[in-house]
Amino acid sequence: MKTKTYLIVCAAVSLVVSLTILFVPAVSDTLEGAMLAFLATYAR
């Protein structure tokens, strides 16, 4: 992938991820729960 195309893809992915977290109700809670489970398991 050319660099310019790659940067556009990165920007688009960032936008989609951010908007999904902000506007899809359960996503943020699910993600935090997953992060907490990961930390509880491995952060000793």
Partner 1 sequence: MNVLKIVLQVLGILILIPAVAIATLRLDNQNADGPSILFPGGELVSGELYTGPEPDWSFTDDVQTVELQLVDPLSSRLIFVMESEGKVYVPSGYMRSTLGKIWKDWAFQADEGNGLAVVRIDGTRYERQLLRIKEGPVLDGIVAKMGSKYGGGATATPEAIQAGRASVEAGDIWIFEMAPRGG
| CA pair distance 32, 7, nearest whole angstrom | 27
Among 4, 8, 18, 44, the residue binding partner 1 under the rule CB under 8 A is 18
C-alpha to C-alpha distances, 5 to 8, 12, 15, nearest whole angstrom: 5, 11, 15
Q: Decide whether 32 or 42 has the Cβ nearer to partner 1.
A: 32
Least distance (Å) from partner 1 to the CB of residue 5? 10
Among 4, 8, 14, 24, the residue binding partner 1 under the rule CB under 8 A is 14
Q: Is 21 in the site for partner 1 (CB under 8 A)?
A: yes
